Amino acid sequence: MKIWLNGSLVAKEQAVVSVFDHGLLYGDGVFEGIRAYDGRVFKLGEHLARLWNSARAIMLEIPLARDALQAAVLDTLRANGLRDAYIRLVVTRGTGDLGLDPRKCPTATVFIIADTITLYAAELYERGLAVATVSTRRIPAVAVDPRIKSLNYLNNILAKIEANTLGVPEAIMLNLEGRVAECTGDNVFIVRRGRLLTPPIADGGLEGITRDTVLDLARSLAIPHAEESFTPYEIYTAEECFLTGTAAEIIPVVKVDTRPIGPGTPGPVTRRLTASFREMTRREGVPV
Ligand code: PXG
C-alpha cells in the first residue's frame, strides 16, 4: 500500500509522522472521508470544499492548492490500483513543541490513505439497524462547531463506546436542548406523516455530503422534505428512519431504543432514495 505523505507516495511502513505532530498530541487538524466507485471519486469537489472550510474555521493553512490536492487524491488511487475505495484525507497542524500554541507548528502535515472499505454487512442494508440514543451530548457549536470535521472525535467516540455497551452499531446523539443532532459518524433522517425530515445543522450536526445528496434526491423525486428539529419522540413515532454517511451510504434503521420504527422493516422512501443514490454513485464523479 502506498500512502501520499507531504508530497510523496511512500510505502505504508515509511508513512510515519512525528510524535510532536499536533494532530496526534491535541487532535489539532481536519480530515475528510471520501468514496470512489468504479473508478470515479464521488463528490470530490464537495469534500475538498468542506476540507478547506474546516481548515479555515480553525485557522489552519493547507500548504497546497485545491487542484494539487485533488491531483494527489487521484494519484494515490492510481498508485494503489484502486477503483472502489475509501479515501482518508488528513491535514494536521504539523510538528510543534509540547505546548498547545499552533504558532509553534510552521507547516501542516498532509496525508492521503486510500483503502478498501466494508462498513455494515450487506444484509443490514436489507434488514435495517437497531440504534440507540446515548447520554453523551453532541458538543455545542459555542465550544467546537460540529460543522468542523476536525481530528477531535472524542465526543463521538464516547458516544460510540455507549453504543458498544448497548450492543448497537450506531448511537443517536442529542444536543444540549435534547433535540436530535446526528450519529457518531452519520446524519439522521426520519419519515414522519409522509414527510422526510433531517435536523437543521444548527441542532449540532456535520453538514454531511451524503445528507446534502439525499436532500437533492428528495427534491428531484418530489418527496416532501424539510430540515426540521425533532426529538427522540418523533423518531419513535416515525414511519421510517435511516442514516447517511460516506461510509454507510444510506442505511435503514428499524429499531431505536428497543422500539420498532414503523412496521420494523425498511420503508418505501428509504428504498427509493437508496436506489437513486446507488444509481448516482455509478453515474457521477471525478475519473481516476
Ligand atoms: N456526522 C459525522 C459526525 C461524521 O463524522 C457524517 C455525519 C456523514 O458525513 P458525510 O459527509 O460522510 O455524508 C460524518 C462522516 C467511518 C467514519 O469510518 C465516518 C465519518 C467520519 C469518520 C469515520 O465510519 N463520517
Residue 35's nearest CA partner among 246, 250, 286 is 246
Please state, as a whole number, how many other Cβ atoms lie within 10 Å of the Cβ of residue 18.
14
Residue with CA closest to ligand 1 atom 9: 208
**Ligand 1 nearest atom to the CA of residue 209, by list position:** 11
Catalytic (active site) residue 104: no
Alpha-carbon gap, residue 121 to 130, rounded angstroms: 13
Class of domain 2-115: alpha beta
Residue 75's nearest CA partner among 165, 183, 3, 150 is 3
Domain with CATH 3.20.10.10 in the chain: 122-283
The pLDDT > 70 percentage for the chain reads 100
Predicted pLDDT at 120: 83
Predicted pLDDT at 59: 98
Find cell 471525478 and name the residue: 286
**Ligand 1 nearest atom to the CA of residue 47, by list position:** 11
Q: Is 276 in the pocket of ligand 1 (CB under 6 A)?
A: no
Domain with CATH 3.30.470.10 in the chain: 2-115
Q: Is 213 in the pocket of ligand 1 (CB under 6 A)?
A: no
Of 2, 12, 43, 149, which one is the catalytic site residue?
149
Whether 253 and 41 have beta carbons less than 8 Å apart is answered as no
Q: Find the 88 Cα to ligand 1 centroid distance in Å.
A: 11
Q: Is 280 in the pocket of ligand 1 (CB under 6 A)?
A: no
pLDDT digits (tens, 9 = 90+) for 13-66: 999 999 999 999 999 999 999 999 999 999 999 999 999 999 999 999 999 999
Q: Is 208 in the pocket of ligand 1 (CB under 6 A)?
A: yes
Find cell 471520501 and name the residue: 34
Domain 122-283 listed as CATH 3.30.360.10: no
pLDDT digits (tens, 9 = 90+) for 154-193: 999 999 999 999 999 999 999 999 999 999 999 999 999 9
Averaged over 233-237, what is the pLDDT? 98
pLDDT above 80 for 119: no
